[in-house]
Amino acid sequence: MANKFKASNRPSLWVWLGIALLVLLLDQFTKVLVLGAFQLGDSTPITSFFNLVRVHNHGAAFSFLAGAGGWQRWFFTGIGVVAALFMVWMLRSHPGQKLFSLAISLILGGAIGNVVDRLLHGYVVDFLDFYWGTWHFPAFNVADAGISVGAALLILDEILRVRRGR
């Protein structure tokens, strides 16, 4: 009977959804700042390898399908919504797997951030521009960073899981 009242060491679904919400809010806040301060195509050098820019991405990662004529907005929005629902289900199914759930939370917050952009603007607002000499990495945003860090953590989680299984 005493175990019934014992505090769980497992974070709840709400912790993971809260992390996703923080990523979403930070993403949207930074995009509002960029939209208010920059015109499309504006660029402000910050360091010798980093600019703040305003770019509109009508496609997916690396501008995939950016020139497809408009249908891709709804296609990528639909994929984002379905992926978000799947990720919430995953978080609900595995809330005690901390690294896995953190990774999914970061990806979820980023995915929803980019879906919000597509619904509000018809494109995703990108503004972080890293470069070396004349080579530029494609501009990205906080949502994209959350997705990328989350993906890296998923890979790390799988490597650790496989090693524990040996």
Catalytic residue numbers?
126, 144
**What type of residue is 85?**
L
Cβ atoms within 10 A of the Cβ of 129, count?
21
Distance CA 127, CA 98 (A): 31
Distance CA 135, CA 99 (A): 34
Q: Is 110 exposed, middle or buried (0-12, 13-18, 19+ CB in 10 A)?
A: buried
